[in-house]
Amino acid sequence: MHLLNPLQMNDWDNKTFFWVFQALQLAFVGVVCLGLVGYHIPIAREALAFLYLTFLPGVLVLKALRLHDLGTIETALYSVGLSLVVLMLTGLAANIAYPLLGYTRPFSFAILFLTIVAVVQILLYLALTRDRGHAASSPEMDISTSPAAPFLMLLPFFAIIGTYMRNEYHMVTLLFLLLVLIAIVGLAVGFDRLIPVSCYPLAIYTIALSLLYHTSLISEYVWGYDIHHELHLVNSVLIPGLWDMSIPYNTNGMLSVVALVPIYSLICDLDPVWVFKILYPLLFALVPLGLYRVVEKQTNARIGFLSIFFFFAFFTFYTEMISLARQQIAELFLALTILAMIDKTMARNKQAFLMVAFGFAMIVSHYGLSYIYFFSLIPAWLLLVIPERLQSWLPEGLTGKLGFLKPDLPARTLVLPYILVFAALAYLWYSTVAEGTALATVTGIGDKIWNTLFADSFDPTTVQGMHILTSQSATPLHSLAKAVHIATQGLIAVGLLATLVKRERWRIEPEYLAVSLVFLLINIAGIVVPFFASSLNTSRLYHITLIFLAPFAIIGGIAIYEAVARRIRSIRAVPLIGTAYQAISAFFVVFFLFNSGLIYQVVDDSPTSMALETSGDKPVFNGKEVQGARWLFSEGIERPIYVDGTRWWLLLGFDPNRQRYVPANASLVEPNSYLYFGTYNLLRDSIRIEAQEHAVTTAAYTDAGWFIRNRNKVYDNAGSAVYYR
| Band (398; pLDDT cuts 50, 70, 90) | low
Q: What is the pLDDT of residue 577?
A: 47
Q: Is the separation of the CB atoms in 26 and 121 below 8 Å?
A: no
**Which 8-state DSSP code applies to residue 715?**
E
Q: Let me know: does 314 contact 546? Beta carbons within 8 Å.
A: yes
| CA–CA distance, 422 with 426 (Å, rounded to integer) | 6
Low-confidence winner among 152-166, 332-346, 354-368, 703-717 (lowest mean pLDDT): 703-717
Task: Label residue 2 by pLDDT band (50, 70, 90).
Answer: low
**Which tens digit of pLDDT belongs to each residue from 41-78?**
888 999 999 999 999 999 999 999 999 989 899 999 99
Q: At 217, is the pLDDT very low, low, confident or very high (cuts 50, 70, 90)?
A: very high
Residue 473 has pLDDT above 80, yes or no: no
Rounded mean pLDDT, 386-401:
62
Answer yes or no: are the C-beta atoms of 562 and 572 closer than 8 Å.
no
Residue in 120, 142, 17, 128 with CA at minimum distance from that of residue 71: 142
Residue 466 or residue 287, greater confidence? 287
Q: Does residue 697 have a pLDDT over 80?
A: no
- C-alpha dihedral over 333, 337, 340, 341, to 10 degrees? -170
Answer whether residue 407 shows pLDDT above 50: no
Least confident interval from 168-182, 456-470, 506-520, 525-539:
456-470
466/459 Cα distance (integer angstroms): 7
CB contact at 8 A, 384 and 514: yes
191, pLDDT greater than 80: yes
Between the CA of residue 414 and those of 342, 379, 392, what are the distances in Å?
Answer: 9, 11, 21
- Average pLDDT on 687-696 reads 75
* Choice among 89-98, 467-476, 706-715 with the minimum mean pLDDT: 467-476
| pLDDT at position 576 | 40
Where does 342-475 have alpha helices with state H? 348-363, 367-390, 396-403, 416-432, 437-452, 464-470
pLDDT of residue 605: 87
Q: Is the pLDDT of residue 532 over 80?
A: no
Mean pLDDT to the nearest integer, 655-663: 86
pLDDT of amino acid 212 = 97
CB distance 293 to 73 below 8 Å: yes
In this prediction, residues 174-184 reach a mean pLDDT of 97
Q: What percent of the chain has pLDDT over 90?
A: 64
Tell whether the model's pLDDT for residue 556 goes beyond 60. Answer: yes
Using one digit for the tens of pLDDT, what is the confidence trace for 630-645? 999 887 678 889 999 8
Residue 53 sits at φ, ψ, to 5 deg, of: -75, -35
> Residue 79 has what pLDDT?
97
Whose CA is closest to 156, among 213, 106, 117? 213
Specify the pLDDT at position 567.
Answer: 76
Backbone angles phi, psi at 698, to 5 degrees: -115, 155
Q: Residue 575: what pLDDT?
A: 46
Pairing between β-strand 140-142 and β-strand 2-4 as defined by DSSP bridges: antiparallel
Residue predicted with more confidence, 407 or 380: 380
* pLDDT: which is higher, 585 or 693: 585
Report, as an integer, the average pLDDT of 345-362.
94
User: pLDDT band at 278, cuts 50/70/90?
Assistant: very high
Checking if the pLDDT of 336 tops 50, the result is yes
**Mean pLDDT over all residues of the chain?**
88
Other CB atoms within 10 Å distance of the CB of residue 637: 11
**For the stretch 402-437, what's the b/e string if a residue is b when 16 or more beta carbons lie within 10 angstroms of its beta carbon?**
ebbbebeeeebbbbeebbeebeebbeebbeebbbeb
- Whether the predicted pLDDT of 566 surpasses 80: no
Tally of CA atoms within 13 A in the half-sphere of 531 that contains its CB: 19
Asked if the model's pLDDT at residue 293 lies above 70, the reply is yes
DSSP 604-657: TSS---TTT--SS--S---HHHHHHHHHHHHT-----EEE-TTTHHHHHTT-TT
Question: Which is higher by pLDDT, 449 or 581?
Answer: 581
Q: Which bin fits 48, alpha (ψ -120 to 50), beta or left (φ > 0)?
A: alpha
pLDDT digits (tens, 9 = 90+) for 436-469: 887 777 776 665 555 555 555 555 555 565 556 6
Rounded alpha-carbon distances, angstroms, from residue 616 to 612, 619, 697: 11, 10, 19
